[in-house]
Amino acid sequence: MKALAHTTFKTLAGGGALALGLLALAPQSVAAQATLPTWREIVVYASDTSYPAALAQRGMQGAATVELTLDDAGRPRSASIRESTRSAELDALAMTLARQLSIAPAGGARGGLVHITFRKDHSSTIATKSCADFNVDAAWQTATFPERGLRDLPVISDSIGMLVYSLHRDGAARQSFPVVEAILNATVAACARTPEAGMLDVMRQEALKLIEK
């Protein structure tokens, strides 16, 4: 693909008729692909049977964008990954799920995007999440997305929201609330020491320590 793109560029520079032929055979440009409609946005939680427990237990989660092409009858013909979860297993699962969708696109469009997000934790399960499970998630995030911080883990934003609510409800946060990064760093360190503890309990304890300082 890179070689074809390079050849096309050089030929276009020459302005010959061959450039038009190559351009017609080349894959869609980034600009053209960006115009594809979004057909579905789906969130799959670990409690769903379509999210293999073995993957969730390894901390594997993320978002994929699948480009789906339909045949003449409107059935999914092919699927490819436009944006990857950086997990071959999750990407394959995303394409499988996309192919199973029933889509009736407007205007007879043959190509569109399906955004599928795999999330381990739901707001109803965070209270029972262990530090051991969080440690696995943190290790996956650090190894797979080194350019991101642990704050980008979905469970962190959900947990912080629950923490703020509980502290204010109990009157424990009359003073200024600690910086989120400080709470997160303290929680990561404490969970590493006590994997058997509950993650949300540890986060609350560490937040209270920071408030009392």
Pairing of β 38-45 and β 111-119: parallel
Residue 162 CA from chain centroid, whole number: 21
Q: What is the pLDDT of residues 3-50, one digit of tens each?
A: 433 433 333 344 444 333 333 333 444 444 568 999 999 999 999 999
What are the beta bridge partners of residue 194? Answer: none
Query: In the block, which residue shows the tokens 């379509």?
Result: 50
Q: What is the pLDDT of residues 74-128, one digit of tens each?
A: 888 899 999 999 999 999 999 999 999 988 877 778 899 999 999 999 989 999 9
Based on the domain organization, do 187 and 148 belong to the same domain? yes
CB 2 within 8 A of CB 8: no
Split into its structural domains, the chain has a count of 3
Domain, as residue range, for 3:
1-29
pLDDT of residue 5: 39
Q: Is the pLDDT of residue 181 over 80?
A: yes
Q: Please calculate the CA angle 152-154-157 and round it to the nearest 5 degrees.
A: 80
Q: What is the pLDDT of residues 144-170, one digit of tens each?
A: 999 999 999 999 999 999 998 888 887
Based on the domain organization, do 76 and 96 belong to the same domain? yes
Gap between the Cα atoms of 137 and 61, Å rounded: 8
CB 88 within 8 A of CB 60: no
Based on the domain organization, do 202 and 131 belong to the same domain? yes
Q: What is the pLDDT of residues 48-86, one digit of tens each?
A: 999 999 999 999 999 999 999 998 888 888 999 999 999
Based on the domain organization, do 134 and 106 belong to the same domain? no
